[in-house]
Amino acid sequence: MEVKKLFVILSVFCSATAIAQQPVKSTGADARQQKKAERREKINQMIKQEEEGALIYQKQGAFGFKFNTDAWGMFYEHGKYKTITKTNLWWLEFGERKDRKEEKVPTLSASGGFLVISSYIYGKQNNFYYLKAGLGQQTLIGGKGNKNGVAVSAIYGGGFTAGLLKPYYIEIQNPSTNKREDIKYANNDSLFLDPTIIIGKSSFTKGFNEIKFVPGVHARAALRFDYGRYNEVLSAMEVGVNAEYYTQNMPIMLLNKEHKFFFNAYISLVFGKRK
C-alpha cells in the first residue's frame, strides 16, 4: 500500500514538472505587441541610416512625369545599388515635343443643328513624339541630415531615341465638293493653309497608321532632391536638361525652320520604392 502511494506521488510530480517545462503560447495581444515592436525597431533603423546621410538599398523602381519647356514626358526608371554613393540606372521615357510658336486657333461650326466649338494649330505639319531607352548613373552628393532632410543626387547618362512623326490632320469644308474632309499637308497643299475653310483638328487617332520612325540619340543631366521620409520610399523632385539629336530634320511647323538637334530643360516629380 505504501509503495502504491509513493508511485502515485511520483507520477503527479513528473506530470507537473513536464507541464511547467512546456513553452507558454503567445496570445493574440502578445503577437500584436511583438509586431509593433519589430516595426518600431525597423523605423528606428531607417531613421538612423538617414541621420548618417546614407541611402541603403539593393534596387529601386520609380515613375515620373516631366514638365518640359517644350511639352511633356513620362518615364519609368530602375536603379541598382553599386556603392554607398553610386547607383546604376536604366530608364524608358515617352513624351512629345512641340514647336515654341504653336498657337491654337479657336473655331465655331454648325453640325446637326448644333454649334460645335473646336480648335486647331495653323501650319502644324506633324505631331512629334519620342520614345527613349537610356543608361546612366545616380551619384549621391549630399545625404539627408535627419529624417526630414533632403538627399541631393546628380543623375547623368544617355541612350537611344526613337523619333515618331505622326501627320497632323485637320477637318475642312471643301469648297469644290462642299463636303467635310480630313486632310494633311502634302506638297504645299493650298487647302491645308486656307484658314477660311478649316473647321478644326481631326480625331487624335487620325494618322497613327502613318507614323514615321526617325532614329536618334539623347543625353540627360539633372539634380534630384529626394525628400522621402524613409529610405524605402522614393519621393523626389528633379531639375535637369535634355539634349537630342536625330538623323534627319524633324518637321513640326510648316512656317518654321526644321531641326535635327533639340535641347530643353525640365522639372519632374518622381515616386517609387526601394528594396
Residue 103's CATH number: 2.40.160.20
Residue 8 confidence (pLDDT) above 50: no
What pLDDT is attached to residue 56? 62
pLDDT of residue 94: 98
Q: 143 pLDDT exceeds 90?
A: no
143-147, 153-157, 209-213, 243-247: which has the minimum mean pLDDT? 143-147
> Taking the alpha carbons of 75, 76, 80, 85 in that order, is the dihedral positive or negative?
positive
With a pLDDT cut of 90, the percent of the chain lying above it is 57
pLDDT by residue (tens digit) across 235-273? 999 999 999 999 999 999 998 899 999 999 999 999 998
Would you say residue 17 lies in a domain?
A: no
The residue-averaged pLDDT of 204-210 equals 93
| pLDDT > 70: percent of the chain | 79
Tell whether 113 is covered by a domain: yes
**Looking at residue 144, what is its pLDDT?**
66
pLDDT at position 270: 96
Question: Is residue 20 pLDDT above 60, yes or no?
Answer: no
Say what the pLDDT of residue 24 is. 47
Residue 1, in any domain of the structure: no
Band the pLDDT of 58: cuts 50, 70, 90: confident
Q: What is the mean pLDDT of residues 97-115?
A: 84
Confidence of residue 117 (pLDDT cuts 50, 70, 90): confident
pLDDT band at 64 (very low <50, low <70, confident <90, very high): very high
Cell triple for 100 = 515654341
Q: Is the pLDDT of residue 209 over 90?
A: yes
Pairing of strands 86-97, 170-173: unpaired
For the entire predicted model, the pTM comes to: 0.77
Position 127 in a domain: yes
For residue 224, being part of any structural domain is answered with yes
Q: Is residue 19 part of a domain?
A: no
Asked if residue 7 has pLDDT above 60, the reply is no
**pLDDT average, residue stretch 186-210:** 89
Contacts of 69-77 spanning 24+ positions with Cβ under 8 A: 69/264, 69/265, 69/266, 70/97, 70/98, 70/99, 70/100, 70/262, 70/264, 71/95, 71/96, 71/97, 71/98, 72/96, 73/130, 73/266, 73/268, 75/132, 75/268, 77/270, 77/272
Q: How many CA atoms lie within 13 A of 239 on its CB side?
A: 2
Domain boundaries, position 245: 25-274
Among 19-23, 59-63, 126-130, 229-233, the range scoring the smallest mean pLDDT is 19-23
Is 204 part of any domain?
Answer: yes
Give the pLDDT of residue 22. 52
Q: How confident is the model at residue 216 (pLDDT cuts 50, 70, 90)?
A: very high
Of 127-131, 138-142, 258-262, give the lowest mean pLDDT range: 138-142
Residue 144 lies in a domain: yes
Residue 21 is predicted with a pLDDT of 53
Instruction: Please check the confidence at residue 23 and state whether its pLDDT lies above 90.
Output: no
For the chain, what is the domain count? 1
